[in-house]
């Protein structure tokens, strides 16, 4: 399928697991950012992997040799922003968050991440706050999300790991909707 002048192998954005030899690379689409409406996102969704929502998506490379495996809804970080390489390994430094994975892309291959909009996120195994509308952060030293009660004092760490707002009640190890805020500024264009 071709959308916004981008070829989507198999026609489903959340099923792309490309070795780097297909038509996407003939045009230099690595790093490409596209916007999808709800209707377009639904049409490009592999429902067994999850339903995509309106928002911005970016085509990236998933780093080979990572410790963590790629999984639906996890947070990925920029490993090499100039070459559009992301990693699911939580960084020891303040490396920027790249986005949310759409599917379990094989290490060293290419796929899509969501960088803005309503995204399905993987929750931590011990969620702190489950209240809809509360802030959502990346859990310390992980690639999963956690909620924070409104009354909690924000720290510098919260600010650098802020993802957005809980659109659904977060649940331990669950896949829940989060309205992403601000990841678009981390996208390298």
pLDDT in the model for residue 24: 61
Mapped onto helix, strand or coil, the DSSP state of residue 186 is helix
Task: Provide, for the chain, the percentages of residues in helix, strand and coil under a 3-state DSSP scheme, each rounded to the nearest 5.
Answer: 15, 35, 50
pLDDT in the model for residue 185: 63
pLDDT in the model for residue 72: 96
Confidence band of 120 (pLDDT split at 50, 70, 90): very high
The yes-or-no verdict on residue 62 having pLDDT over 90 is yes
Cα 83 to Cα 79, 93, 135: the distances in Å are 9, 19, 31
The yes-or-no verdict on residue 100 having pLDDT over 90 is yes
pLDDT in the model for residue 155: 63
For 68, other C-beta atoms within 10 Å of its C-beta total 14
Domain containing residue 51: 2-186
The least confident of 32-46, 109-123, 142-156, 158-172 is 142-156
pLDDT in the model for residue 181: 83
Identify which has the larger pLDDT, 162 or 93: 162
- Rounded to an integer, what distance in angstroms lies between the CA atom of residue 100 and that of residue 98? 7
Q: Under 8 Å CB-to-CB from 156, ≥6 apart: which residues?
A: none
Name the residue with tokens 């430094």. Answer: 93
The Cβ-side half-sphere exposure at 37, using a 13 Å CA radius, reads 4
Cβ–Cβ < 8 Å for 77, 99: no
Identify which has the larger pLDDT, 99 or 161: 99
pLDDT tens for each residue of 22-42: 666 555 688 889 999 999 999
pLDDT in the model for residue 88: 96
> What is the number of domains present in the chain?
1
Q: Which two tokens stand for residue 44?
A: 């490009």
Name the residue with tokens 């377009």. Answer: 40
The pLDDT of 8-13, averaged and rounded, is: 79
- Rounded to an integer, what distance in angstroms lies between the CA atom of residue 86 and that of residue 77? 5
């Amino acid at each position: 399928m071709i959308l916004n002048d981008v070829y989507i192998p198999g026609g489903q954005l959340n099923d792309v697991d490309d070795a780097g030899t297909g038509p996407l690379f003939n045009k230099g689409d690595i790093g490409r950012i596209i916007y999808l409406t709800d209707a377009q996102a639904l049409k490009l969704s592999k429902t067994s992997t999850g339903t995509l929502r309106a928002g911005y998506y970016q085509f990236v490379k998933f780093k080979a040799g990572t410790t963590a495996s790629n999984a639906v809804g996890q947070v990925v970080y920029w490993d090499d922003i100039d070459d559009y390489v992301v990693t699911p390994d939580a960084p020891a430094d303040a490396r920027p968050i790249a986005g949310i994975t759409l599917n379990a892309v094989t290490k060293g291959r290419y796929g899509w991440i969501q960088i803005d909009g309503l995204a399905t996120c993987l929750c931590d195994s011990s969620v702190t706050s489950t209240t809809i509308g509360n802030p959502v952060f990346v859990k310390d030293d992980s690639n999963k999300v956690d909620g924070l009660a409104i009354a909690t004092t924000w720290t510098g760490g919260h600010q650098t790991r802020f993802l957005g707002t809980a659109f659904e009640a977060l649940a331990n190890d669950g896949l829940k909707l989060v309205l992403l805020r601000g990841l678009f500024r981390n996208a390298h264009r």
